[in-house]
Amino acid sequence: MKNKRKMLAAAVAICLCAVLAGCGKSKETENIKEGMAAIEAMDYQGAMSHFEAAVENGEDARLIARGMGIASMGLTDYEAAVSYFEECLSYSSGVVQNVDFDVNYYLAAAHCKNGDYGRAEQIYDAVLAMREDVEAYFLRGNARLEQGKTESSIEDFEKVLAMKPDDYDMLIKIYEILESHDMKEKGQVYLQTALKEREKKMSAYDKGRIYYYLGDYLQACVQLENAKKLGTADVYYYLGMSYEATGDFSYALNNVYVKYLNLNEGDARIYNQVGLCYMKQGDYALALEAFQKAMQIPDNGMMQTLQFNEIAAYEFLGEFDNAAALLNRYLQTYPDDAKALREYGFLSTR
């Protein structure tokens, strides 16, 4: 479920304005807006209440069904989400609009979360039959890979790379997916090809992170040190990770992460890495402090990771009651986190 909730929140933020502007202009949408705001705050049950109020108020049925589908995904009720998204699509006028593509992506995601990758693949097929879309190829590649359709998934990923040869974020996403499916060597071929063909055009930052994923941590450090003049959190994040990979946690902590935080506004990813470094060094109190500082940053995009790490820090500190209470609250928000469920079984016996 890696990054799925972050992606969901981002999709909501991106699509909300466009969808509200393009649909249901003649009807009030106040409850719908409140429901979508609750989704962004990850209050999915509250969101459902707002959408139910929208039904009573006679607000746009299509937007209500869409919102209920997204909220149902947050509640991990994927079958209900599928039903709501299909209901939303049933209100289509027959003229394909952006909202139709948007809802189809959500519908495919709900099928994936429900384990029906075959149905998701069919939806991406339909999307691609209507328009060439990099994201659809990428997601269809994922769905195919989950079904063991290695050859066709590779075709999709290579289509993506051909369409966006300079999109190194997408290149790294493809590598990470292949690595997670025991195809690391295939993913590294794509990284090596990018370096071979476009290294002279690449920034030091892009070269550094590609070297990081290739496992050449010393070269990654060299390139990312050259990129430090950019002063971005991204550079310091990968630079610190590269030093960590060499085993030099102290340097990563004090000369990269802490140095960045002393010169810039707080960044949740950097604070999280600070916490993880302290955890590796056995300093769990300072780790806890770092995780909690990251959690105080608004819209940090990684609250699930931070909350789980906070729980782990309390557990290592021997504060099992605090850890158990926080884990119980965590599972109310993220009930499909299998790792957390196993941890809950452990803490409940302490």
Segments making up each domain of the chain, as ranges? 1-115
Rg (C-alpha) for the chain, rounded Å, is 22
Region for residue 28 given its phi and psi (left: phi exceeds 0; alpha: psi -120 to 50; beta: otherwise): beta
The number of residues making up the chain comes to 350
Place of tokens 């959500």: 106
Helices of type H across 215-337 = 217-227, 233-245, 249-251, 258-263, 268-280, 284-295, 303-316, 320-333
- Tell me the pLDDT tens digit for each residue of 263-315: 998 899 999 999 999 999 999 999 999 999 999 998 888 999 999 999 999 99
Residue-level pLDDT at 16: 41
- Which residues have a Cβ under 8 Å from the Cβ of 237 and sit 6 or more positions away? 267, 269, 270, 273
Place of tokens 């030093």: 243
- Tell me the pLDDT tens digit for each residue of 63-120: 999 999 999 999 999 999 999 999 999 998 777 788 889 999 999 999 999 999 999 9
What backbone phi and psi angles, to 5 degrees, belong to 298? -60, 145
Q: What percent of the chain has pLDDT over 70?
A: 89
Integer angstrom CA distances of residue 323 from 308, 310, 313, 328: 10, 8, 8, 9
- Tell me the pLDDT tens digit for each residue of 39-49: 998 899 999 99
Residue-level pLDDT at 123: 97
| Residue 112 and residue 140 in contact, taking contact as beta carbons nearer than 8 Å | no
Q: Flag the least confident range among 14-23, 155-164, 170-179.
A: 14-23
| Residue 205 and residue 168 in contact, taking contact as beta carbons nearer than 8 Å | no
Place of tokens 């994936």: 112
pTM of the model: 0.82
- What tokens does 24 get? 């249901």
- What tokens does 323 get? 């850890």
Integer angstrom CA distances of residue 255 from 207, 244, 261, 265, 284: 21, 12, 10, 17, 20
- Tell me the pLDDT tens digit for each residue of 3-38: 443 334 334 333 444 444 444 444 568 999 999 999
CA–CA separation, 57 vs 27, rounded Å? Answer: 10
Q: Which CATH number fits domain 1-115: 1.10.357.10, 3.40.50.970, 1.25.40.10, 3.40.1280.10?
A: 1.25.40.10
Letter string b/e over residues 65-86, b meaning 16 or more CB atoms within 10 A of that residue's CB: bbbbbbbbbbbbbbebbbbbbe
- Distance in Å from the first CA to the final CA of the chain: 27
In whole numbers, what is the pLDDT of the chain averaged over residues?
89
Q: How far is CA 309 from the centre of its chain?
A: 17
| Residue 331 and residue 341 in contact, taking contact as beta carbons nearer than 8 Å | yes
CA–CA separation, 11 vs 9, rounded Å? Answer: 5
Residue-level pLDDT at 343: 60
Type of residue numbered 328:
N
